[in-house]
Structure formats: C-alpha cells, structure tokens
Chain A
Amino acid sequence: MDEVPLIRRAQGGDERAARELFDIYQLRTYRLALGLLGDTADAEEVAQAALTYALLNIHRYKSELSSFSTWLHTITVSRSRDKRRRKILPSIPLTQWVSMGNQIRDHTPGPEAHLMRREMEGGLVAALDQLSPKLREAIVLRFYADCTYKEMGEIMGCSLNTARSRLRLAIEKLRIQLGDTQLRWLATETIR
C-alpha cells in the first residue's frame, strides 16, 4: 500500500488516516522496541509513546528527508534510550523467548544436536543481552530491521561510519563472549 497519501491526510488532520498509520506500524514499532529493550512491558510502553509522539507531531515529518519508517524508528530508539536511562534493564527475557520455538522453519535435528542448539541459542541471546545499549541498537537495526548503514546512522543519530563501527564492534564482542568452542560449533553444525 502507498502510505504517502495516508501520511498527507494525517498531516492535514484526518484522524482515520492517523489510525490506519497506527495499525500499519504498531507491530513493527513494538517488536523493534522489544529487540532494543528485551522486556515486553517496557517495549509496549515505548511503542505507545513513540507512536503517540509520531502521530501527534506528524506535521513535523518531512518526506524529503527520510522515509516514515526511518523517522518512526528514530523516535522509537530515542524513547528506548529514555526508558533505559530511567530503569536498569533486565537481562533475562530474551533468553526466555528462545523457548517459544520457531513457527516457520521445520528443523528435525537429532536429540544431541537439539540440546546443543538450545544451549547455543541460549548463549547467543545471553551474549546479546550483555551488549551495551548502542551496540545492541546496531545489531537489532541491522539484523532485524534490515536497515542500511545510512539508515542506521540516521536512526542512531550518528555518522554512517560510526554506525559501521558499532556493528563491527558488536560482532567482535559477541565473538569474544561466545568463545571458540561455541563459535566452532556454530560454523560446523549442519542441522539448520
């Protein structure tokens, strides 16, 4: 769907258009916030705050400067940072999510490989939880939101080169935290 007319209508004061934009972006915003914060209640609060700010201030949005989703991501990242500043974030929830399983892929590993994978995924997500907020932002924006480096820079409020450095640093830290054994297993496992 072409969202440009919808945004223009909302900028003109049309509440129905604003509601449609809310419906389109609520899931994406919530999941991004969840990726950044790791806590469902905080993510919901941040998503509500980001969408409220974006829609009530939609007259500030300039389509020639960025796409609407990039603008909304920027607000979401900013609100997540505010949230984090006010609260020490838990490091457990991401690890719990792994047990939710994958609805899309149908892997059929043997029991040993299955156990190893569970352990590995737990380690990986725990390592993600250990990253600093900015490095975690880089990981989530690149690998979940599929942002380009340019978009990452815009969203995180830094230069393209800084965005690149943060992502590389995040990978480096994950490598160190996971250690050689787990990484070798990652590279050689053939179940997936």
Chain B
Amino acid sequence: MVSNGNHPLAPHYDDLTLEEFVLGQLLPDEEQAIRQHLAVCPSCRSTVTTIQALCRDVQSALYQTLDNAQPGPNLSFDTISTQWRTPPRRVTWLYRLQQQVVLSASTTLLIVLFVLAFLLLVPSDHPTMLGNLEIIEEYSGPPAVIAANTDQGLVVVQLRTNDTQVVKQFDHITQPRDMAFSPDGHWLALQQSYTLHIIETVDAGISVRIPIREGAAWAWSPDSQSLAYTDGTGQLAVFDVTAQVNRTMVPAAENAWGLPVWTADSSQLAYAASFPLPTETGVRVRQSLWRVSLSSGYRVELARNPAPAETLLVPTAWIDDDAALVAWDMAAVATGRFPTLYQVDVAAHQVAELLAQSLTQGVRLAWPVSAQDTAMALCDGQLTLLNMQDDTRQPITVQIPLPFTLAWSPNGAWAAYIVPSQIEGGGLYAYAPQDSTLRAVQLPAGATEKAVYWADAEHVFVVRQAVDKPVTELWLASVTADEPPQRIISDVVIPSSDAYSGWRWQDVMATQVLAF
C-alpha cells in the first residue's frame, strides 16, 4: 500500500495490486483487505472500476468479433481423412494388438455369449465413472437433469429409471456460478468470470454468452421460454431462447438490480431499482419496486422509498394470483439481522410491513414462499407458518432448531428443511403443516446435509458435503416412506476458496425434474 502524499491517513493501493485484485490473483486475506479499503476509498474504487470496465470491454469486444466468425470451406476433414487411411499411421499398441490377433469365429462367438450371459445374469451396481465423478446407473427416481462442477469441467447428467448418462461436458467451464435450469430442463444458465452462459442441454447444444458485471442475477420464466437478468450495470433484459433474441426491458440508466421475479403466467416481471446501485457507495436517494410487462414493455412503479429510509426492498414472490408482491429488506441482512418481510399491494401501490422476519441466502429467501402463498417466518421470535394471502399465522409447535434452508413440496403439503446437525446424516427433516407431522429423514454417515430440492411429491434431492474431503454428493431420499436413500452422484467438486470470495451451493450443483 502506498500513500498519495496528500492524505497520510488514507493510503492507497498501487495500480499493480489493484490490477491483481481485479484479475483474481490475490490471496483471500489480501482480497478481503482491499474490499474493505475500497468501501472507504473513492480513489482506489475509481481505479478498480476503470480496470474492471476495461476487462469487461476487452471480453465483450472479443466475443463480438470471434463469436460471429465462421471459417471458410477450406477448413474440412477431407485432407485429414486421406491421411487417416494412408498407412503407416500410428495407432495405440492396443489397437495394433487387436489387429494382429486373429480370433476364430467360434472363439469370438463364445466370448460374446459369455459376456452377454454375464451382463444378463449378474446384476451390476458399478457406477459410471467420469474422472473422479461417480454416477449411479440404477437410478429409481423421477426423470431429472443435473449439472455438476467436476474435475473434468461442468457436466450435465440426465437421469432416467435405470438409465443415467452424461449428455454434455464443458471442460472449459471450471468455475460455474449460480447455475439454474429452465423449468423444462432444456437450458442451463450460469456465470463464469464476467460472462453469463446460456447453454442448451439437448440436441445441437446452442450456447450463448452475454457479458455481465458483478451483482448480476437471473431467473427463468415459468414457461421456460425466457431468461430475465439484471446485468450489474442497471439494465434488465430478457433473452428469448426460442428466437435467440435479447431484449432490453429496462435501460441501464434506470438502475435495475437484483433478481427479477416472474409472474406465474410469464407475462410480467417485478424488479428493484436503486440510485445509486447497491454495489456502489454513496447516499441512496431513491429506491423503488417496479413491474414491467413483457409484451408491451410498459413499466409501472409499485412503491417508492418505503420507510424507514435505510430499507432496501428486494422482490421475492408474486402472491394472490399476482395481485400482490412479497419483498424483503436487504439492508437488514447487511447489519446481521433477520430481514423483515413486506407486502406490496399492486393495485393500490401500498407497502405494508408483515411483522415477520425471514432468512436469506444471497438474493433469495432461504425460507421461500410456497405455491400456496405460505412461508415459514419468525413472528415475535416464534417460528411460524405465515399465509401471505389472508395474513393467518400458525405457530410451529414442535420443537425444531431454525433451518438454514428449506424447500416446499410442489403441492405445498410438506416443507423439507435442513438444520445444523452435529450428527452426520441427521440434518434433514420434513414438516407437514396440516397435521403438524414432523419426520426426521435419516441419511448415512460420512457426509452432512447442505441443500434440499424436491424431486416429486414424496422424494427430495439432497446435496451433502463429504466429511473427510471437499467434495459433494447428491442423494435421493423419500420423506414419506422408509425407502433406503440412494446416492446418485458423488465427488462433485466444491470451488476452491481462493477462486473468488464466497460461493453458494448453486455454484456446485443444480437439479431440475423433467415434466412428462
């Protein structure tokens, strides 16, 4: 760190260090120290912003030019084909051996019959191997697709009954962030570096890359046709996967940020706007919640500057047939408090505090709102089921620790959740609000539970972290019956801690059940 001479009490980092910071070349401790410094130093912040902008634009210029380039007809396999057939061409020793050993017809037939008999009579439970990744072959859950970060890059695995296969492998994607499948499982969105990748998981495999900045967030439309994203500059755009067209819904000057929230019919989006953006410093002069219509592009401000002044509302779910919007206060999270929930009346343009607190993970609620507009929340310090439509509150009477993550079953009958547990395999529970039934779903030792997603009305996918090494496993477990849980994938790679500051489970694995 060097002083600028004018302000001995506010020394600055040199350009070399700030460049290394932007390029992710520093140790986590150094990076953290610079982050703290940037919060109070406009001069260094300005330098970092300039370097970041330069990197982003270099990337953007390369994508623009190279992604449109097509080779001419001279690039072809024909010349290779000619040489391929011309002896002598070196092949593996195994191949040579195979060529040299002449098997008699009867021997070949005998071997084939023996192998067939072995395959048919001896059941195999050997998993498919891909590098260190192990994938079970005798899968028994609903059809699903999984994206996993592996030592061979990102892989997409399709799961069908007794049939699992790696359908895509992207060895150049080694540090995915915030992976999200479209609801039909055909598309996968993820971030690597300052790029949003939108990847087709089936057929020809179209891949689209969009430059983004720090703080970008995205959400798939319920009809799987569009990905809405804020790109970190203040712009909100929608990418139509069928037409392969990107459309700016809100220009950057409007300062849209955070996760856009789709209505159930995929016709409208709710989003937040803030001046300045939350990623920038300075006194916030305005913050508001908006909705925008996809067909007309028409924008309506739903609420502006809700009291108290420091509140920073984030939309999270449409409720009551899209007549109201639920939002939470991000400013509370920054100060270590549980964020308060708010309800926005879309017609009356009024914001009401719900006198209930929730828990968050990044830009999402860790206790999300169910399809029946119910959420788990803290009301007067008591864990409560809160119906957002009619504001009825049902305290949870069974003794459970506060879950750190929760998922509602598709029909809203069960909430599967994970609590901090000292016992390996003892962190997963399921709670049925209707009759206050609580079930502990025991999983084998050797790993601890970290995230849960519903596979169907009775089964959940559970992300578990191995106790003895930094890898992740995906399990299928029943919450209603005493079926033995099934390990589907193991040895999924957790990002190294110095790759960037912090990571979430969406950076490691994503799951999506396929509807038929």
Interface residues of A (CB under 8 A from B): 1-4, 11-13, 15, 18-19, 22-23, 26-27, 30-31, 34-35, 40, 43-45, 47-48, 51-52, 55-57, 59, 67-70, 94, 97-98, 100-108, 120-121, 124-125, 128, 139-140, 143-149, 151, 164, 167-168, 171-172, 174-175, 178, 183-184, 186-187, 190-192
A97–B168 alpha-carbon span in the complex (Å): 31
Does the CB pair A186–B65 fall under 8 Å? no
Task: In the A-B complex, list the 6 residue pairs whose CB atoms are closest, starting with the nearest.
Answer: A97-B65, A67-B171, A143-B59, A186-B53, A30-B71, A2-B166
B 73-105 binary contact with A (CB < 8 Å = 1; else 0): 011110111011100011110110010000000
- Chain A: CB-nearest residue to B193: A146
A107–B63 alpha-carbon span in the complex (Å): 15
* Contacts beyond the supplied A1-B205, A4-B130: 19 A-B pairs with Cβ under 8 Å: A2-B165, A11-B92, A13-B91, A27-B71, A40-B71, A43-B71, A48-B74, A56-B83, A94-B65, A98-B61, A104-B244, A106-B248, A108-B251, A124-B58, A139-B58, A146-B193, A149-B25, A186-B53, A192-B252
A2-B130, A104-B246 as given contacts; A15 in contact with B253, CB under 8 Å: no
Does the CB pair A59–B90 fall under 8 Å? yes
Does the CB pair B166–A168 fall under 8 Å? no
Residue B116 lies at the interface, judged by CB distance under 8 Å to chain A? no
A168–B513 alpha-carbon span in the complex (Å): 43
A1-B169, A31-B67 as given contacts; A67 in contact with B252, CB under 8 Å: no
Does the CB pair B74–A12 fall under 8 Å? no
- Chain B: CB-nearest residue to A30: B71
A84–B172 alpha-carbon span in the complex (Å): 26
Select the stretch in B15-23, B394-402, B444-452 that faces chain A.
Answer: B15-23
**Residue in contact with A128 in the complex, picked from B58, B98, B209, B244, CB distance below 8 Å:** B58
Chain A residue numbers with a CB within 8 Å of B80 are 18, 22, 51-52, 55-56
Interface residues of B (CB under 8 A from A): 15-16, 19-20, 22-23, 25, 46, 49-55, 57-72, 74-77, 79-81, 83-85, 89-92, 94-95, 98, 130, 152-153, 155, 165-169, 171-175, 192-193, 195, 205, 208-211, 233-235, 237, 244-248, 251-253
A99–B237 alpha-carbon span in the complex (Å): 23
Does the CB pair A187–B23 fall under 8 Å? no
Chain B residue numbers with a CB within 8 Å of A147 are 172
Does the CB pair B75–A44 fall under 8 Å? yes
Does the CB pair B172–A105 fall under 8 Å? no
- Chain A: CB-nearest residue to B209: A104
Does the CB pair A47–B75 fall under 8 Å? yes
- Chain B: CB-nearest residue to A66: B171
Chain B residue numbers with a CB within 8 Å of A34 are 66, 69
Does the CB pair B153–A190 fall under 8 Å? no
Closest beta carbon of chain A to B115's beta carbon, Å: 18
Main secondary structure of the interface of B (DSSP, over half): mixed
Chain A residue numbers with a CB within 8 Å of B62 are 35, 139-140, 143-144
A181–B60 alpha-carbon span in the complex (Å): 20
Does the CB pair A186–B85 fall under 8 Å? no
Closest beta carbon of chain B to A11's beta carbon, Å: 5
A103–B204 alpha-carbon span in the complex (Å): 19
Does the CB pair A146–B172 fall under 8 Å? yes
Chain A residue numbers with a CB within 8 Å of B237 are 105-106
- Chain A: CB-nearest residue to B20: A168
- Chain A: CB-nearest residue to B208: A104
Does the CB pair B195–A146 fall under 8 Å? yes
A141–B78 alpha-carbon span in the complex (Å): 28
**Residue in contact with A97 in the complex, picked from B52, B69, B173, CB distance below 8 Å:** B69
A69–B153 alpha-carbon span in the complex (Å): 11
A57-B90, A124-B57, A147-B172 as given contacts; A52 in contact with B79, CB under 8 Å: yes
**Residue in contact with B51 in the complex, picked from A121, A145, A171, CB distance below 8 Å:** A171
Closest beta carbon of chain B to A9's beta carbon, Å: 10
Chain A residue numbers with a CB within 8 Å of B173 are 146
Does the CB pair A171–B94 fall under 8 Å? no
Does the CB pair B235–A192 fall under 8 Å? yes
Main secondary structure of the interface of A (DSSP, over half): helix
Chain A residue numbers with a CB within 8 Å of B130 are 2, 4
Does the CB pair B50–A98 fall under 8 Å? no
Chain A residue numbers with a CB within 8 Å of B70 are 27
A183–B46 alpha-carbon span in the complex (Å): 11
- Chain A: CB-nearest residue to B252: A190
Closest beta carbon of chain A to B242's beta carbon, Å: 15
Closest beta carbon of chain B to A184's beta carbon, Å: 7
Does the CB pair B167–A31 fall under 8 Å? no
Chain A residue numbers with a CB within 8 Å of B195 are 146
Does the CB pair B91–A105 fall under 8 Å? no
A35–B52 alpha-carbon span in the complex (Å): 21
Chain A residue numbers with a CB within 8 Å of B174 are 146, 148, 151
Does the CB pair A144–B94 fall under 8 Å? no
- Chain B: CB-nearest residue to A180: B50
Does the CB pair B54–A144 fall under 8 Å? no
Closest beta carbon of chain B to A163's beta carbon, Å: 10
Chain A residue numbers with a CB within 8 Å of B248 are 106-108
Most buried by B among A70, A148, A187: A187
Does the CB pair B61–A121 fall under 8 Å? yes
Sample of 13 A–B contacts (CB below 8 Å): A15-B85, A18-B80, A31-B66, A31-B69, A47-B75, A48-B79, A51-B75, A52-B80, A97-B68, A97-B69, A144-B59, A187-B53, A192-B60
A40–B248 alpha-carbon span in the complex (Å): 32
A24–B71 alpha-carbon span in the complex (Å): 14
Chain A residue numbers with a CB within 8 Å of B51 are 171, 175
A92–B54 alpha-carbon span in the complex (Å): 21
Chain A residue numbers with a CB within 8 Å of B65 are 94, 97-98, 100, 125
A12-B92, A67-B171, A171-B54 as given contacts; A30 in contact with B64, CB under 8 Å: no
- Chain A: CB-nearest residue to B59: A143
Does the CB pair B94–A105 fall under 8 Å? no
A143-B59, A148-B175 as given contacts; A105 in contact with B246, CB under 8 Å: yes
A107–B98 alpha-carbon span in the complex (Å): 59
Closest beta carbon of chain A to B361's beta carbon, Å: 26
- Chain B: CB-nearest residue to A70: B171
A57–B69 alpha-carbon span in the complex (Å): 27
**Residue in contact with A18 in the complex, picked from B75, B84, B235, CB distance below 8 Å:** B84
- Chain A: CB-nearest residue to B83: A56
A52–B84 alpha-carbon span in the complex (Å): 10
A164–B20 alpha-carbon span in the complex (Å): 9
Closest beta carbon of chain A to B480's beta carbon, Å: 35
